[in-house]
């Protein structure tokens, strides 16, 4: 995984795990890689992976079964979608609208591009 400088690495790691849950790699009650396995996979310090897992556990995206590892909390996908949609609407969409206005891009232009991209 290539990390960017705009967010701490542990947040990028938790975002990746959430992406994997959203895409169906991990489903409700599935075991996810151990902290060490994930750290090795992403080539990061184990302490960084611990921070990512702790954050996800606080957000109730994953839970720990003592001695067995971490698992996806039932309903995590729905929770992630809700949080990501809220973030998109409050943080990304206003900037997108500002750029559209500056560049003279209309909603019709966006719809046409969307249809060309997704074939709808």
**Could you list the pLDDT tens digit for every one of the 120 residues in the chain?**
788 888 999 999 999 999 999 999 999 999 999 999 999 999 999 999 999 999 999 999 999 999 999 999 999 999 999 999 999 999 999 999 999 999 999 999 999 999 999 987
pTM equals 0.81
DSSP-based three-state secondary structure for 28: coil
Q: Is 62 in contact with 76 (CB distance < 8 Å)?
A: yes
**pLDDT computed for residue 2 by the predictor:** 82
**pLDDT computed for residue 119 by the predictor:** 83
- The torsion angle over the Cα atoms of residues 72, 13, 53 and 55, rounded to 10 degrees, is -100
b/e string for 59-86 if b means 16 or more Cβ within 10 A?
eebbeeeeeeebbbbeebbebbeeeeee
Tokens 């969307």 belong to residue: 114
CA distance 5 to 10: 12
């Amino acid at each position: 995984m290539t990390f960017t400088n705009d967010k701490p690495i542990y947040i990028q790691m938790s975002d990746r795990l959430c992406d994997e849950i959203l895409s169906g790699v991990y489903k409700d009650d599935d075991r996810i890689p151990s902290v060490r396995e994930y750290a090795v996979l992403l080539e990061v310090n184990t302490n960084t992976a611990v921070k990512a897992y702790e954050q996800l556990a606080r957000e109730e995206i994953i839970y720990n079964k003592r001695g067995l590892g971490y698992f996806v909390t039932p309903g995590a996908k729905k929770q992630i979608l809700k949080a990501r949609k809220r973030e998109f609407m409050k943080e990304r969409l206003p900037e997108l609208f500002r750029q559209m206005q500056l560049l003279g891009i209309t909603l019709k232009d966006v719809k046409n591009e969307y249809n060309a991209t997704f074939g709808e």
